[in-house]
Amino acid sequence: MADESIVYVIDDDQAMVESLSWVIESVGFRVKTYTRAQDFLDEYDTQVPGCLLLDVRMPGMSGPELQTRLNEFAEQGVSVPPIIFISGHGDVPLAVRVMKAGAVDFLTKPFNDQILLESINKAIRADRANRDKLQESAEASAKFALLSTREAQVLQGIVAGKANKVISAELKISLKTVEAHRASLMKKMGVKSVPELVKLVLANNVEETAHEE
């Protein structure tokens, strides 16, 4: 299923690049090609959705080395394209290593066009899901940043499963004050129930950064 995603093809074999581009474009995807991994890295726009069709062995930066660089970006919360590795060698240990590092697939040349397209669609779906998750996490963090310090403390108590009375005693504030903070923080977080609140916080790994009262 084609959309606005770009399939980045990186392979130092120009004939292979042209062949892959023809197959991918035939189903409506946009393609951008490179013969060097560094060239892709220099130009990559993290805001553009897509996936990466990456050769294993290339002059300069290899495919696995580029994967390592992209994984470092991902650890910083940057969206990076899912990778499909292509190789002319059936290197099982390498395939296992790159798959453990997050690759969507490892295809050995020559491969069937249909298998290639199925892998690309899987990678595009993975990219979309990852971008949605990052967006949700950013939105949750933005909401959390609106909380006062006291509201954040009450939230931590709620997420820990503590009753209002326990939170009241631990924070040395009245029960009514806890209830008021609870109502306020739930409004700011955009939720209507405690289970929904806890799910939002835990699923998005919300950072504990609230402004002072």
Neighbours of 85 (CB within 10 A): 24
- Give the model confidence (pLDDT) of 156-186 as tens digits: 999 999 999 999 999 999 999 999 999 999 9
pLDDT above 90 (res 81): yes
In this structure, which amino acid lies at residue 199? K
Percent of the chain at pLDDT exceeding 70: 94
- Dump the DSSP string for 28-96: T-EEEEESSHHHHHHH--TTS-EEEEEES--SSS-HHHHHHHHHHHHHTT-----EEEEESS--HHHHH
Output the CA angle 116-121-125, nearest 5 degrees.
Answer: 145
pLDDT of the residue at 138: 83
Sorted by where each starts, the structural domains of the chain and their CATH numbers stand as: 6-134 (3.40.50.2300), 145-203 (1.10.10.10)
pLDDT of the residue at 206: 63
The structure tokens listed for 28 are 């409506």
pLDDT above 80 (res 204): no
Give the span between the Cα atoms of 179 and 202, in whole angstroms: 22
Find out whether 51 and 104 touch, Cβ atoms under 8 Å.
yes
Find out whether 14 and 35 touch, Cβ atoms under 8 Å.
yes
Closest CA to 8 of 67, 59, 60, 68: 67
Closest CA to 85 of 61, 69, 118, 109: 109
Mean pLDDT, the chain, integer: 89
